[in-house]
Amino acid sequence: MVDAARVRGTLLRLLNMDTPSGREGIAADFLEGELRGMGFLTWRDDAGEVLGGDTGNLLARLEGTAPHAPPLLLNAHMDTVVSTAGLVIREEDGILRASAATLLGVDDKCGVTAILEGVRAALDEGFPRPTLEIAFTVCEETGLWGAKRLDPGTLAARQAYAFDTGKPVGGIVVATPSHNNLAFTVRGMAAHVGMAPERGISAIRIAADAILRMPLGRIDEETTANIGVIEGGTADNIVPDRVECRGEARSHSEEKVERQTRAMVDAFQAAAQAAGGRVEARVERLYTRFSVERGHPLVRRAVEAGRRAGIADPVIRAAGGGSDANVLNLRGLPTVVVGLGYENLFGADERVALADVTQASRIVAELLRLAGMGQ
Ligand SMILES: [Zn+2]
């Protein structure tokens, strides 16, 4: 049985560890001890060395007791988007908040907690279950780097659940967009504006022209784009010779994200050419879209597990952002993301109800029970 007091204890313990990206070691040590205590074989990969962090991804396996059930991978990430040093947790009516000027760190410590508790409950009950694998990753927040370093060849599972999104608890994310980051360095020609403005080529003007040439905002129902940062220029009286612009393009359609990206690069090139300047464009793929059919066994099982955990009608939805699930899907492991119920992520009033994390833990246990039954 899922134990609400144990959920609270685990979550508080994890929240009180400061684990920004690259410094997840303290959480990995704790989790490794817990998993070994439950009989898991554990190991860490080389993601820590490669990424310059203090631990690699923490991986674990426990052989199954249901003979024909396919192995299942459970995933959550150990890092938080920023340091939560100095965190003071306020607990009121079963809701956790941060009382100091830090985030609480619900993302993704709620996911880690739900996996740990749900697995423990399943093992306590002793029902037949599949071979279980766990991937607690590092550096998710800085670009899914831990997951990108994870070698699926070291895993037996060919399907996964990622516990890494907020409200509603038990909601199932079956699709996310592809996401490109774009960066532009615009180069013009500096000149003293009082003496020889005609010698200057304004990089700011090129950037302005480029931005006006490109489609931005909501492009269509699947596609969005933004230029979010502009930095450049040196003084009031100098024609600016350098501007940096950064932005992004996302779409649930791979073709559209590439078309939008091209449109943004082309707009900068055209504006630079028109003014006699130059531009260097850099495009980085942050993550690639996925879409799992609503009728896929992974989704059906998650819906049924949610119902058994007390959610009348689990929400199935698309999301606007990526997670480790994008990398796992890209690597050939169909993965959906399950919601933990936290709210106001990264905002001033980031909070989570303990009851929601307890319910998410029940979902984990029910997923294992259903998988053990061959569902
Ligand atoms: Zn997350």
Residue boundaries of the structural domains of the chain? 4-176+289-372, 178-287
Residues 153-166 pLDDT 10s? 999 999 999 999 99
Annotated catalytic residue, options 79, 209, 324, 350: 79
Distance 28 CA to ligand 1 centre (A): 16
pLDDT of the residue at 59: 98
Residue 167 has pLDDT above 90, yes or no: yes
Distance 143 CA to ligand 1 centre (A): 11
Residue 19 has pLDDT above 80, yes or no: yes
pLDDT of the residue at 101: 80
Range scoring the smallest mean pLDDT among 16-20, 119-123, 233-237, 347-351:
347-351
pLDDT of the residue at 119: 98
Distance 134 CA to ligand 1 centre (A): 16
pLDDT of the residue at 127: 97
Q: Is 79 a catalytic residue?
A: yes
Residue 156 and residue 146: Cα distance in Å, rounded? Answer: 18
Distance of CA 78 to the CA centre of its chain: 11
pLDDT of the residue at 99: 84
pTM of this structure: 0.92
Distance 161 CA to ligand 1 centre (A): 13
pLDDT of the residue at 345: 87
User: What percent of the chain is modeled with pLDDT above 90?
Assistant: 96
Going by pLDDT thresholds of 50, 70 and 90, the confidence category of residue 100 is confident
Distance 203 CA to ligand 1 centre (A): 37
Distance 300 CA to ligand 1 centre (A): 23
Please state the rounded mean pLDDT for residues 112-120.
Answer: 98
Annotated catalytic residue, options 45, 133, 140, 141: 140
Distance 189 CA to ligand 1 centre (A): 43
Shared fold status for 4-176+289-372 and 178-287? no
Residues 207-234 pLDDT 10s? 999 999 999 999 999 999 999 999 999 9
Whole-number Cα distances in Å, 197 to 71, 239, 348: 69, 7, 47
pLDDT of the residue at 135: 98
pLDDT of the residue at 77: 98
pLDDT of the residue at 115: 98
Residue 149 has pLDDT above 90, yes or no: yes
Please state the rounded mean pLDDT for residues 230-255.
Answer: 97
Please state whether the peptide bond connecting residue 168 to the residue before it is cis, i.e. omega within 30 degrees of 0: yes
pLDDT of the residue at 346: 84
pLDDT of the residue at 347: 82
Distance 91 CA to ligand 1 centre (A): 22
Please state the rounded mean pLDDT for residues 35-47.
Answer: 98
Residues 281-335 pLDDT 10s? 999 999 999 999 999 999 999 999 999 999 999 999 999 899 999 999 999 999 9
CATH 3.30.70.360 describes domain 178-287: yes
pLDDT of the residue at 45: 97
Q: Is 45 a catalytic residue?
A: no
User: What percent of the chain is modeled with pLDDT above 70?
Assistant: 100
Distance of CA 112 to the CA centre of its chain: 13
Closest CA to 168 of 315, 325, 358, 306: 315
CATH 3.30.565.10 describes domain 4-176+289-372: no
Give me the chain's average pLDDT, please: 96
